[in-house]
Structure 1
C-alpha cells in the first residue's frame, strides 16, 4: 500500500534537515535539533565559530559526509519534514547545523533521498473491502478480543502496528460479512479509531512534501 520515490543524488543544505532516525539522546524529548544540542552538547556549540563548525563536520560518524552510499535522507509525504536516516553522529551534525545557522554559513549535503507515500488506489481498495480499527494490544485486551470474536463467530484479521506503536494493532473486518459488520458498528459507536479514515487523511495531506524533482 506504500509508495517510495528515490533520487540517488539529492542536494540540500544542512538547515533543511529536521531530524534523525537514531541518537544517543532520547529524541522524542526535544522539539528540535537545536534544543537537543543546547541541552546535551554545549561543548560542541561553544564557541560559535567557523572553526567549531569545521571541527563538528570532520566527525567521522557523520556518514552522510564522510562515506559514500551509507546514510540517506527520507521524507514521509504527509509529514513533509526531511530526516537523516543515520547510524551515528547525531550530536555533531546537530551542532554543525546550530553553528552554521548562527554564523550564516551554508553547508551543502548530497545523498540518497527517499520519499514515502500512500498508494491511493490500494488504500481505496482496502477501505472498500474492510472496516479497519486501531486497538490497544496488551495481552489481556488481545485475549479478550479473540475470545469475544470466537464466541460471536465473526471473521477478522489483525496486524501489529510498526514502531513506535508496537503496543497497538490494526483490526480488519470484512464488509461482506454481516457478523463482522455488526462488530464494526459496535466499535465505531464505542469510539475506536477508524484506521481507514486516518490513512485517507494522511494520503490527502501530501501538499507540503519536499520535491524530489
Structure 2
C-alpha cells in the first residue's frame, strides 16, 4: 500500500493534495479515528497544538503569461499522460484539424489561429476576470490554473503562442498552500505513521491500542491513497517493535512521504526569490 501514483503529468491528480486532510475551516489538524471502537478508545484523536497541517495564503492580484502555467486542474482529458501544457496543446490542435468539418480552415501556428483559440469563452480569465484562479502547492512547486473549463483551448493557445513569440497575459487571485512546519514536525517527532489497506486497518488499530496503549486511524481520500493511516505514539520500546514488525510485513512508512514533501517545499521556497512574488 502506497500513496497513489498519478495518472497524469499536468492535471490535478499529478499533485499530492495533502491539504485535503485538513478540516474545511483549517482548524487544528487531528489524526481522528473514523472506525467505531469500544468505549475505552472511542473517537480517540491526536490533535496538533500548532494549527492546521497546511496553511493557505491568498494574493488578490497575480499576473503571469499563459505559458507560465504548468498544470491545469480541470479537463476532460485528465486521464491522458501529456508531458506538459504545450504538448497537450499540440495534441488538441492536431485532433481539431483531423476532425474539422469540411471547409473549415485548419488551426495553424499563426496570429489568426491564436485569436480563434483565445476567443473561446471557456478561457474565463480572458473573458470573465477573476472567475478562475491560480494556485501553487509549495511541496509541488508548479503553477496551476484552477479552472472550470477551457483547458483544451488554453493549451492550444499556449502551443501556438510559444511558436510565434506571442504573449497571453493573465491575471487573477493566487492561492499558495504550504505545510505548517510545526504541525508536520509534531507528527514526525511524536508518531509512527503507517499506511494500511482499509480492510486491515480496524483489526490493526485494536492490536496497536492493546500493545501500545493508544492509537488512531484516518481513512485517506482516494485522491491520496486507497488506504488508511494508522498513527501511534513514539517513545516506547513496544511502539518501536510494533512499527518494525509492520514495516517487515511490507507496510508503508508515511513519515517518509511527509519528510520528502517538506524537504521539497523548503527547496522550492529557498529557490523562489520568487518569480511568483515578483508578479503579485
> TM-score per shorter chain, which class?
0.7 to 0.9
Q: Which runs of 5+ in 2 are unaligned?
A: 1-52, 98-105
1:75-114, Cα deviation, whole Å (9 max, x unpaired):
1112211110111000000001000000000111111111
1:31 maps onto 2:83 in alignment? yes
Give the structure 1 partner of residue 162 of structure 2: 101
The TM-score, its normalising length taken from structure 1, stands at 0.86
Q: Say whether the 8 Å CA contact 2:90–2:159 is kept in structure 1.
A: no
Query: Cα gap change, 1:27/1:208 in structure 2, threshold over 3 Å: closer, same or farther?
Result: farther
Give the equivalent residue in structure 1 for 2:253.
Answer: 194
- 1:8 matched to 2:60: yes
Instruction: Provide the secondary structure at the position in 2 that maps to 1:159.
Output: strand
Moved more, 45-54 or 177-186: 177-186
**Aligned 8 A contact 2:93 2:107 in 1:** no
Write out aligned runs for 1:166-177 (5 A).
Answer: 166-175=225-234
RMSD: 2.5
Q: 1:61-210 residue pairs with structure 2 within 5 A?
A: 61-137=122-198, 140-142=199-201, 145-146=204-205, 148-149=207-208, 155-175=214-234, 179-206=238-265, 207-208=267-268
Q: Is the 8 A contact 2:62 2:173 kept in 1?
A: yes
Aligned pairs, number: 211
In terms of fraction of residues, the more strand-rich structure is 1
Say whether the 8 Å CA contact 2:201–2:217 is kept in structure 1: no
Q: 2:70 matched to which residue of 1?
A: 18
Residue 116 of structure 2 is matched in structure 1 by 55
Q: Give deviations 1:113-134, integer Å, cap 9, x for gaps.
A: 1111111111111222211112
Is this contact kept in 2: 1:155–1:177, CA < 8 A? no
TM-score by length of 2: 0.67
Whole-Å Cα distance in 1 between the matches of residues 181 and 62 of structure 2? 26
Asked if the contact 2:212/2:232 (under 8 Å) is kept, the reply is no
* Residues 143-185 of structure 1: per-residue CA shift (max 9 Å, x gap): 5545655775753211122342241222111225665443222
| 8 Å Cα contact 2:69-2:85 kept in structure 1 | no
Shift of 1:33: 2.0
Distance, in Å, in 2 between the alignment partners of 1:15 and 1:163 is: 31
Q: Give 1:19 shift.
A: 1.4
**Structure 1: any 5+ residue segments left out of the alignment?**
none
Give the Cα–Cα distance (whole angstroms) in 2 for the partners of residues 155 and 177 of structure 1. Answer: 12
